[in-house]
């Protein structure tokens, strides 16, 4: 064999890899998934630790009681807003369903002298508003922003009409138990209150558990996520898209009305001017936790994280006696960060595809 052929057939050793060391793809994928799934829960944990170290009286049982009660209304409504967002929709009318349902319940209790009739009337009103929203969005194909903004204004006007423009006192004191009863109640040796879990907190916990199960463990929940991910594909797969959208809006109206009735019980009256900006707090809490504004992505753990992040920040500012004007700035900044976080997640998802 000639020297030339030996030279031609000689195999060169592979060149040494001089590029910087990188983590294997499966590690990067797992890390990215963990940050997406539990990132905001980690942020919440860090925030709680930081506030405990820097804010006086934050890490106390009495303040925990106040914090849980403060986030209960937003938490209750966020449970069903999760379904709206996961299906690719949202509902601005919850901001006025809450006070109007409280007013309706108060008026009906006074007129009928029946707590049950008042509660059913308030829930029925919320269901009716949700039905209107759902039919207009699902059947008439009207943008949910326009639809729910219109019903927001309509329901706001109805709250003032029903109440005569003023708060409506409730004559049946037994109704106040719904918003003020507590268990367990912990007191010190001098009978001073240390900690308690009131009814609104228990209702919020129940909503977290029930709607979390409904989203993740039932066909209805899976269909909701499928509609948000790709509505046309869901329709072709045989999912009754319009019916599910209507049910979601009705469910949202009922739960918002429930929150309003509980709030009226806490305040011992129907207040038509209460809950200003509540709809933005609810949507911001969901998005901050990681629920996508474009639909198809959502877990109850996301909602819980978002609700408590906003609640902890608000609570810390109150304990620090931060000027309310600055609190508006901080709240707005959090909402902006929530939207930016959602956009980053969309870009990351698009890159992965």
- The answer as to whether 129 is a domain residue is yes
Relative to beta strand 269-270, strand 168-169 is antiparallel
Query: What are the phi and psi torsion angles at 195 (to 5°)?
Result: -160, 145
pLDDT of residue 72: 96
Q: How many domains does the chain have?
A: 1
Of 34-43, 115-124, 157-166, 257-266, the poorest mean pLDDT is in 34-43
- The answer as to whether 315 is a domain residue is no
Residue-number span of the structural domain to which 230 is assigned: 58-274
Contact 81, 97 (CB under 8 A): no
Q: What percent of the chain has pLDDT over 90?
A: 67
Q: What percent of the chain has pLDDT over 70?
A: 87
Give tens-digit pLDDT for 11-37. 555 554 444 445 555 445 555 555 555
Beta bridge partners of 169: 269
- The answer as to whether 42 is a domain residue is no
Give tens-digit pLDDT for 182-225. 999 888 888 888 889 999 999 999 999 999 999 999 999 999 99
- The answer as to whether 143 is a domain residue is yes
Return the CA Rg of the chain: 25
Please state whether 80 falls in left (phi above 0), alpha (psi between -120 and 50) or beta. Answer: alpha
Q: What is the mean pLDDT of the chain?
A: 87
By CB atoms closer than 10 A (0-12, 13-18, 19+), residue 220 is middle
Task: Report the C-alpha gap between 110 and 334 in whole angstroms.
Answer: 41
Residue 129: closest CA among 106, 98, 108: 98
Assigned token pair, 41: 């829960």
Give tens-digit pLDDT for 50-64. 999 999 999 999 899
pLDDT over 50 at 8, yes or no: no
- The answer as to whether 261 is a domain residue is yes
Give tens-digit pLDDT for 254-301. 999 999 999 999 999 999 998 888 999 999 899 888 888 888 888 898
By CB atoms closer than 10 A (0-12, 13-18, 19+), residue 333 is exposed
Assigned token pair, 341: 């976080």
Task: Report the C-alpha gap between 153 and 28 in whole angstroms.
Answer: 47
- The answer as to whether 293 is a domain residue is no
């Amino acid at each position: 064999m000639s020297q030339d052929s030996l030279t031609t057939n000689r195999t060169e050793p592979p060149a040494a890899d001089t590029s910087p060391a990188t983590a294997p793809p499966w590690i990067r994928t797992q890390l990215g998934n963990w940050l997406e799934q539990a990132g905001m829960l980690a942020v919440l944990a860090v925030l709680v630790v930081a506030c405990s170290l820097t804010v006086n009286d934050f890490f106390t049982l009495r303040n925990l009681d106040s914090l849980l009660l403060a986030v209960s209304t937003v938490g209750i409504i966020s449970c069903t807003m999760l379904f709206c967002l996961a299906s690719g929709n949202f509902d601005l009318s919850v901001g006025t369903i809450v006070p109007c349902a409280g007013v309706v319940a108060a008026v009906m209790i006074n007129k009928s002298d029946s707590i049950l009739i008042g509660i059913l009337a308030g829930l029925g009103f919320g269901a009716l508003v949700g039905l209107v929203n759902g039919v207009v969005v699902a059947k008439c194909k009207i943008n949910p922003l326009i639809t729910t903004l219109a019903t927001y204004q309509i329901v706001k006007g109805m709250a003032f009409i029903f109440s005569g423009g003023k708060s409506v006192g409730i004559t049946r004191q037994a109704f106040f138990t719904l918003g003020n009863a507590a268990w367990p109640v912990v007191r010190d040796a001098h009978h001073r209150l240390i900690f308690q879990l009131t009814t609104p907190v228990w209702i919020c916990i129940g909503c977290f558990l029930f709607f979390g199960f409904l989203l993740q463990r039932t066909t209805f929940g899976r269909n909701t996520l499928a509609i948000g991910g790709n509505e046309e594909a869901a329709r072709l797969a045989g999912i009754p898209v319009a019916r599910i959208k209507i049910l979601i809006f009705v469910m949202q109206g009922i739960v918002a009305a429930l929150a309003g009735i509980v709030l009226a019980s806490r305040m011992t009256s129907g207040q038509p001017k209460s809950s200003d900006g509540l709809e933005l707090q609810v949507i911001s809490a969901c998005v901050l936790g990681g629920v996508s504004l474009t639909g198809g992505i959502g877990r109850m753990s996301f909602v819980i994280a978002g609700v408590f992040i906003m609640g902890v920040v608000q609570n810390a500012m109150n304990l620090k006696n931060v000027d309310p004007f600055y609190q508006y700035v901080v709240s707005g900044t959090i909402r902006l960060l929530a939207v930016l976080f959602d956009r980053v997640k969309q870009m990351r998802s698009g890159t992965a595809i």
